[in-house]
Amino acid sequence: MLEDELQHLSRLPTPGDWQLQDRKLVVMRELENGHHLLLQALQANGLSFLKGPALHQAMAGCVGQDGLRLWQDTLSLLADCQRTNQIIGSRLARQQTVMRQSLDLLLGGTDQAMTYGRQGARRHMPRHASFGVA
């Protein structure tokens, strides 16, 4: 699903009907529910205070080895998802910046021209002339 979102964001302008967000919310709610159920199982067995290897052993006792493997696979997948979401967030922020700069330019909302330095950072420079007056 996140790969679909990355592909979606790579097309500019992005299509307006974006059903991926709804799917992400469903998955997020399912993950939260699964985490809540795991915490309940640990609390019911008096094991919610454990950390690290002791927690893994306790989880294996609560959910079995298959459940523990599923949980470890889920954690690995979540780490991958977190990295992908960071990329998505960066792309969205970049698109938002470009749109704001374009809108400022179209509306004359900035009194300074923007250029880029050697490191790619924006620098503001005073304009020497205006586009005109209506």
Peptide bond between residue 13 and the one before it cis (omega within 30 degrees of 0): yes
C-alpha dihedral sign at 48, 50, 56, 60: negative
Specify if 92 maps to a domain: yes
Model confidence over 37-82: pLDDT tens digits?
888 888 888 887 888 888 888 888 878 888 888 888 988 998 998 9
Specify if 53 maps to a domain: no
CA distance 76 to 92: 25
Specify if 90 maps to a domain: yes
Model confidence over 108-134: pLDDT tens digits?
765 555 566 666 666 555 555 555 555
Which residue range is the domain that position 91 belongs to?
A: 80-108
Q: CB within 8 A of 88, min separation 6: which ones? A: 2, 5, 6, 9
Model confidence over 19-32: pLDDT tens digits?
777 888 898 899 89
Specify if 103 maps to a domain: yes
CA distance 102 to 108: 10
Specify if 132 maps to a domain: no
CA distance 103 to 23: 31
Specify if 5 maps to a domain: no
Specify if 64 maps to a domain: no
Domains in the chain, number:
1
CA distance 40 to 63: 12
Specify if 75 maps to a domain: no
